[in-house]
Structure 1
Amino acid sequence: MNEKIPAAVAFEDQLRTNGQYEEDEAFHLDLERYWIEFRALKFWIAGIIALCVVAGVLATLLATDLFRASARIEVSDESVSVTDVDLPTRVALRNEQNFLNTQYQLLNSRFMASRVAEAKNLARDEEFLELFNLDEEGQADQQAIERVLLENVTVEPISQSSLVDIHFSSPSKTLSADLANSWAEEFISANYEKRFGANIEARKFLNEQIAELREKLAESETELIEYANANEILILQTERGDAGSDSASQTLIANDLEALNNALASAVSDRIEARATSLSSDFPANDPRSILRADLIRAEAELARLSENFGPLYPELIDKKTEVEALRSSISRETSSVLRSAEIRERELRARFEAAKSRFLSQQGQSIDYGILKREVDTNRELYDALLQRYKGLEASGAGQNNISLIDRAAPPKVRYSPSLALNLLIALATAAILVVVLVYLRVLLSQTLKDPQDVSRRLGLPLLGAIPTHKGGPVNEALLERSSELSEAYKSTRTNITFLTPDGAPQVIMVTSSVPSEGKSLSSFALAASFAQLGKKTLLIDADLRNSKMVELVGGDSLEDRGLTALLSGASQISADSLINVADHGFDFLPTGRKPPNPVELLASPRFRELLDQARQDYDQIIIDSAPLLSLSDAIELSRVVDGAIYVIEADRIKLRAIEQALKRLRETGGMVFGAIVTKLDQNNSTFGYGYGYGYGYGYGQAIEKSDD
């Protein structure tokens, strides 16, 4: 045939479109394929699950008990928004998130591990070293300790809050709580040092300087006191000179000298006054001599009056004279006494003054040394007061509030954290699930044969024309003659699908081929010929497999080696009754191959085969050609040029799909049309794909499965 029938071309386009539609639903169908493989591997899967569960239980029983303690801290961001508009607020939120993420990373850093290791002196902690097998002659490597700490600490931020939980796991309850608390405390301290580090360093420096000055001041004061005691220097009053140094009058001797000087001056004044008084007879009002003086004046007045009136021998006058003399003597004696007392007092005070003066002059050199020591004490005290004031100022200004605080301290846990049987079983089941998925996937991936008949459309892009079950015992002819047999029903369904290939019914000339021998190609050709004959069509079955024909065994009778297809192609005679075998039981004519030719491809490619086929088109309604397999042979390729189209026979679960695709590609590249495919030798292994429920027949009669020959 020179051209394909237009209806067949249109139907092929429709089939390809349907095939594309089914490819679009490949995901759903692939899931079904995976489920089928899953069921096929159910014993393997059960073994994998059991093995993983046992491994999880053993891991739980053999693992060391771990206890996890948790401390909670609050991390507050003290960043201040520049403005109150929305955009900077969003920026502030982003900055806050960056700040929190930074703190989380710091909590998990080697920096924190190093601080905790140093703070707890873990390098010499026998319990820690023994629990984590780090004991190396009583001291472990610092890096190993840090690595252990980082492996066992977990930082867990609490969602939608600024709270962070710090978990630490170890075989010891108390050690876990201790290290969790230490981790939190060291992080808080590190943050405080980072924020107020300069202030802390300054206060530390000032504290050291204050301590030194305190000692120096104490030493200078001790030296001053010892010097003053050794030299009997007693300070009664502190006075400042113009140069800021203490004067010598501040001592007790200077104070005595000053008092004696004042007393001496007073004594001198009293003596002078007493002498002046003795000469002037002008006594003070409170002076006893004033009374005597007054009495003397009155006595002298009486004496004068008596002298004027009486004579010298007047007794009263004589008495008065005696009284006057007595008063004068008393005044003279009193004046002499006062003058002597003043002189004596002056002499005594002058002597004492001279003695104090001598002592003061001898103490002048000691006062200089004392002043030097005193100035050193004052200088040290001033420096000490200044540094102390500065320290207090730094403490008041730099003691800011830490933005990280400890909320909950870790307490020793009461129950173990790990191993958890439930968690290990969950992990075991998850591992088993992964292994099962991998196993099923590899099974599907490595299983490249056609198991599901629907893969004909899904993978090959061909319509599925028929699904043929494996023939289970008995002659094939008898099974095909039995109208109710599953084999006969399967081919009837296939024939029905073929009749819908074109609007005018089944194509007149159909070639049946396969990838390799023994896929059921010859049986399908025979059964289709018998099925079309049952419709009353005049049918011709041509055995064009000139290399290894099995058709005569199916048909029975003489092989007609001198009158078969080979003889017709080699000679000039036409198809006649002598060259045909009438298969009366099935109602069709059969043209056998005859003898095997040495050049089958040349015979099939010759114009002679086209002439014979044109003759057969005129004499028969339906022509079925059984050709050789496609792989490694060109017989079917040559036949595809003269037939209306081909039906591809595929044995289930035998040939890799890639080989089938290559064979179909060869056929299509030469212009051959493929109407569809027939899947043969389906058995109970294919039942899970839905075979047996869409074609009106079933299987499973309990007999042993015997695959038929080609």
Structure 2
Amino acid sequence: MADAVIYSAQPDMAENADENSGILAFERYWRQAVNSRLLIAGILAGGLVLGLLITLLSTPQYRSTAVIEISRATANVTNIDQTEIEELQADEQYFQTQYELLGSRFLAEAVVDAANLTASESFRDAFADDPEAPLERRDAVEILLEHISIEPVRLSNLVNVHFSSPNRSLSAEIANIWAEQFLAANYEKRFGANIDARRYLRDQIAELRERLAQSEEELVDYANANQIVIVDTGVNDDDSSSAARSLIGDTLTTLNQALAQATAERIAAESALRAKATTAETRAASSQLRSMLATAEAKLASLSANFGPAYPEVQAARSEVEAIRESIASSEGRDISGLQAAYRQARSEEAELQARVKEVQDRFLSQQGGGIQYGILKREVDTNRQLYDALLQRSKELEAAGAGKNNMTLVQPALPADEPYKPSLVLNLALALLAATAVAAAVVFLRETMDRTIRDPNDVQRLFGLPTLGLIPRVEQDDLLDELRRRSSELSEAYVAARSNISFLTPQGAPKSLMLTSTRPNEGKSLTSVAICRSFAQLGKRTLLIDADLRNTALVDFLGKQASKDAGLSSLLVGGSEPQAVTIPIEEHGFDLIPSGMMPPNPADLLATDGLAQLIAKLEQSYDFILVDGPPVLGLADALEISTAVQGVVYVIESNDVKIRAIDNALRRLRAANAKVYGAIVTKLDDRNSAYGYGYGYGYGYGYGEPIDDANAGRS
């Protein structure tokens, strides 16, 4: 009991309580939650019902997943250490860039175009509000971005590409197209220059092929029309005239050579005929015959010298000589005939060749004009062929170099889901419960935060600079005076504690005269006045209670006494009677009462005179303690006038009801009137204030009226 009084009265104990403000704040919100338990239960139940309805009314969504492996592109370099450091630094940025590209609008547009989603009936049926209406490309892109999700797999190079839709097959199809378009875009980005160059070369080669074929066709047509036959010499020279020549020109050259040869042969035959030259064979045979002739003649001479003419051997030798001479003559005749025949043949061949050369020469001269145009067409063909060969060679080089390998791979294509992944009843109920819990917590927070009343009695010291002189519990019983008479009751004990604190307000003890006032009516001020006077009277002090609320004469009725309306404080202030004549003894409580009396037409003016101060000074000679039950402060000037006639003021504050701003304004008015406000008594504390430790150990704050042992157990 005494500990509770000291706790309320000493500022150092209040400072200790401030140190535990965090715990007290939690307890405040917890107590508010307990007081709002029905509302919280309704919010939680509503959240669960809402989660169930959302689950039942939601369209099932099927999600398919394609898995992509993303590897860092490496370069063929020799500075390995430096490259590894740079790659480690760039890894995070590189992969984060790829994740952003995977979910980019650019990729969504590519998927829309690749799958022709604007014309896809299944896509419109799944997402469009009106499946029959045409779907804009921009709307299709927004739908894709809303339903695609990119999930990197931790501690790996894998990325999951999720797509969800009401159609399981559509989900798998779009997830796969999304992955394929991403891989194609990455390949195009890495090797686009090579691919573009090859594509450009293919186009140029095709164009040059057509031009070359056309120019060759024109050349052949022109050659056929002009009967130009080209002989390829096989010489690959820059000068096309040396690489190929016409058949007529080549024939003319050959005929000229043959004509020169025939002319030379004709001249040789003619010279041989004139010189009667014989051939080598003829000369050899003639020389042999002449040798034989000489031998035969020598033999004939020898025989003739030894024998007569009629000698047979002489005759035989003479016949042999004659025969050899005939053979020599015959041989020489044959040689001249041969020379003549050779001469005639040579002249014939020369004439024939001259005729053919003349004919070919005429034809060659006739083709000279057409050869110019043929040369132009031929050079065009050669130029086109050279360009075509150069481009073809470059294309082969690019193909040999290749475009490289993509550093990203589709590891696992998406498959149609067997079951919908949402709505999930368990997940929706959990989320609904979580959301409802958050709403309930917000309600509790707002109710506690917006409740600008006194919950923690320490706020009296913190906000208004007033010590707490007493903490009075709320009593639900009708007969408060009967509860006050029971000394073991919480109410009686609380007011005894308040009286003890008032007794230590000055070094001499309690002030001789005090006024009790409050912010507004019905804050427990009258009960507090009666209880404090009763407590001082129990100490053997002569105590007087003055009802100074001239506008509301309810104190007499509260005490159950009868008093004349003409006798009271108002009559004393106007000098119409003496204090002894209007004083009513309250025997059951041990103090005297001066009622308010008749309500004057101008209470503030009546209280503003020196009469009240003189009356209290006079009464202090007869009483040990005088307590003035004053009117409320706000809206009236009565309490301000009364505060100047007493030694001090004790302010009554109703917890959990009166606004802090109103209390502060009322105290400002009192202090502006130079009133000495000693402290405050906080009334009507209930279980909403139990979080701050104000229970006294008698069950207060845990349910009034419980047995003392149970209450003590609760406090422990």
Q: Common fold, TM-score beyond 0.5?
A: yes
Residue 511 of structure 2: SS of its match in structure 1? coil
Contact 1:158 1:165 in 2 (8 A): yes
> What CA distance in whole angstroms lies between the structure 1 residues aligned with 2:366 and 2:408?
64
1:693/1:387 Cα in 2 relative to 1: closer, same or farther (>3 Å)?
same
Choose from 543, 546, 553 the match for 1:549.
Answer: 553
Residue 69 of structure 1 and its aligned partner are, at CA, apart by 2.8
Tell me what 2:710 maps to: none
Q: Does 1:64 align with 2:60?
A: yes
Q: Does 1:38 align with 2:42?
A: no
Tell me what 2:3 maps to: none
Residue 634 of structure 1 and its aligned partner are, at CA, apart by 1.9
Tell me what 2:601 maps to: 598
> What CA distance in whole angstroms lies between the structure 1 residues aligned with 2:119 and 2:478?
89
Residue 457 of structure 1 and its aligned partner are, at CA, apart by 4.5
Tell me what 2:563 maps to: 559
Residue 216 of structure 1 and its aligned partner are, at CA, apart by 1.4
- TM-score if structure 2 supplies the norm length? 0.80
Residue 231 of structure 2: SS of its match in structure 1? coil
Tell me what 2:356 maps to: 355
User: Where in structure 2 are the equivalents of 1:481-560 lying within 5 Å?
Assistant: 481-559=485-563
> What CA distance in whole angstroms lies between the structure 1 residues aligned with 2:468 and 2:136?
72
Residue 557 of structure 1 and its aligned partner are, at CA, apart by 4.3
Residue 551 of structure 1 and its aligned partner are, at CA, apart by 2.4
> What CA distance in whole angstroms lies between the structure 1 residues aligned with 2:76 and 2:600?
99
Gaps of 5+ in 2: 1-5, 708-716
Name which of structure 1's ranges 472-481 and 272-281 shifts more when overlaid on structure 2: 272-281
Contact 1:563 1:594 in 2 (8 A): yes
Q: Give 2:585's aligned amino acid.
A: N
> What CA distance in whole angstroms lies between the structure 2 residues aligned with 1:300 and 1:693?
186
Residue 217 of structure 1 and its aligned partner are, at CA, apart by 0.9
1:393/1:318 Cα in 2 relative to 1: closer, same or farther (>3 Å)?
same
1:241/1:385 Cα in 2 relative to 1: closer, same or farther (>3 Å)?
closer
1:365/1:260 Cα in 2 relative to 1: closer, same or farther (>3 Å)?
closer
Residue 614 of structure 1 and its aligned partner are, at CA, apart by 2.1
1:178/1:620 Cα in 2 relative to 1: closer, same or farther (>3 Å)?
same
Contact 1:239 1:250 in 2 (8 A): no
Residue 549 of structure 2: SS of its match in structure 1? coil
> What CA distance in whole angstroms lies between the structure 2 residues aligned with 1:319 and 1:85?
118
Q: Does 1:679 align with 2:682?
A: yes
- TM-score if structure 1 supplies the norm length? 0.81
Residue 559 of structure 1: SS of its match in structure 2? coil
1:328/1:226 Cα in 2 relative to 1: closer, same or farther (>3 Å)?
farther
Contact 2:633 2:640 in 1 (8 A): yes
Tell me what 1:298 maps to: 291
Contact 1:166 1:180 in 2 (8 A): yes
Tell me what 2:714 maps to: none
> What CA distance in whole angstroms lies between the structure 2 residues aligned with 1:25 and 1:461?
19
> What CA distance in whole angstroms lies between the structure 2 residues aligned with 1:35 and 1:320?
172
Deviations 1:331-367 (CA, angstroms, capped at 9, x unpaired): 5425634653574366357536743762464255557
User: Where in structure 2 are the equivalents of 1:561-576 lying within 5 Å?
Assistant: 564-571=568-575, 575-576=579-580
Residue 525 of structure 1 and its aligned partner are, at CA, apart by 0.8
> What CA distance in whole angstroms lies between the structure 1 residues aligned with 2:237 and 2:548?
144
Choose from 206, 218, 221 the match for 2:216.
Answer: 221
Tell me what 2:711 maps to: none
> What CA distance in whole angstroms lies between the structure 2 residues aligned with 1:77 and 1:676?
79
The number of equivalent residue pairs is: 683
> What CA distance in whole angstroms lies between the structure 2 residues aligned with 1:386 and 1:580?
133
User: Where in structure 2 are the equivalents of 1:658-697 lying within 5 Å?
Assistant: 658-683=661-686, 690-693=693-696
Residue 46 of structure 1 and its aligned partner are, at CA, apart by 2.1
> What CA distance in whole angstroms lies between the structure 1 residues aligned with 2:375 and 2:366?
10
Q: Give 1:320's aligned amino acid.
A: V
1:134/1:594 Cα in 2 relative to 1: closer, same or farther (>3 Å)?
closer
Q: Give 2:286's aligned amino acid.
A: R
User: Where in structure 2 are the equivalents of 1:15-94 lying within 5 Å?
Assistant: 28-61=23-56, 62-72=58-68, 74=70
Q: Give 1:424's aligned amino acid.
A: N
> What CA distance in whole angstroms lies between the structure 1 residues aligned with 2:690 and 2:573?
45
User: Where in structure 2 are the equivalents of 1:138-157 lying within 5 Å?
Assistant: 139-155=134-150
Tell me what 1:329 maps to: 330
Deviations 1:136-179 (CA, angstroms, capped at 9, x unpaired): 76853222222223323334567788876554333344544444
RMSD of aligned alpha carbons: 4.5
User: Where in structure 2 are the equivalents of 1:119-268 lying within 5 Å?
Assistant: 119-133=114-128, 139-155=134-150, 166-187=161-182, 204-225=199-220, 231=227, 233=229, 235-239=231-235, 244-246=240-242, 251=247, 255=250, 258-259=253-254, 261-262=256-257, 265-266=260-261
> What CA distance in whole angstroms lies between the structure 2 residues aligned with 1:543 and 1:309?
216
1:473/1:166 Cα in 2 relative to 1: closer, same or farther (>3 Å)?
closer
Contact 1:206 1:391 in 2 (8 A): yes
Contact 1:248 1:254 in 2 (8 A): no
Deviations 1:472-524 (CA, angstroms, capped at 9, x unpaired): 54644433332222322222222233334344433332221222333221111
Residue 380 of structure 1 and its aligned partner are, at CA, apart by 1.4
Tell me what 1:8 maps to: none
Residue 528 of structure 1 and its aligned partner are, at CA, apart by 0.9
Choose from 282, 286, 295 the match for 1:289.
Answer: 282
Residue 215 of structure 1 and its aligned partner are, at CA, apart by 0.8
Q: Does 1:631 align with 2:626?
A: no
> What CA distance in whole angstroms lies between the structure 1 residues aligned with 2:460 and 2:414?
67
1:302/1:395 Cα in 2 relative to 1: closer, same or farther (>3 Å)?
same
Quote the sequence identity (%): 41
Residue 624 of structure 1 and its aligned partner are, at CA, apart by 1.9
> What CA distance in whole angstroms lies between the structure 1 residues aligned with 2:479 and 2:48?
52
Contact 2:117 2:123 in 1 (8 A): yes
Residue 593 of structure 2: SS of its match in structure 1? strand
Q: Give 2:318's aligned amino acid.
A: L
Residue 621 of structure 2: SS of its match in structure 1? helix
Contact 1:245 1:375 in 2 (8 A): no
Q: Does 1:585 align with 2:588?
A: yes
Q: Give 1:120's aligned amino acid.
A: A
Contact 2:27 2:691 in 1 (8 A): no
Residue 214 of structure 1 and its aligned partner are, at CA, apart by 0.7
Tell me what 1:707 maps to: none
1:452/1:355 Cα in 2 relative to 1: closer, same or farther (>3 Å)?
same
Choose from 612, 621, 644 the match for 1:609.
Answer: 612
Gaps of 5+ in 1: 1-10, 704-710
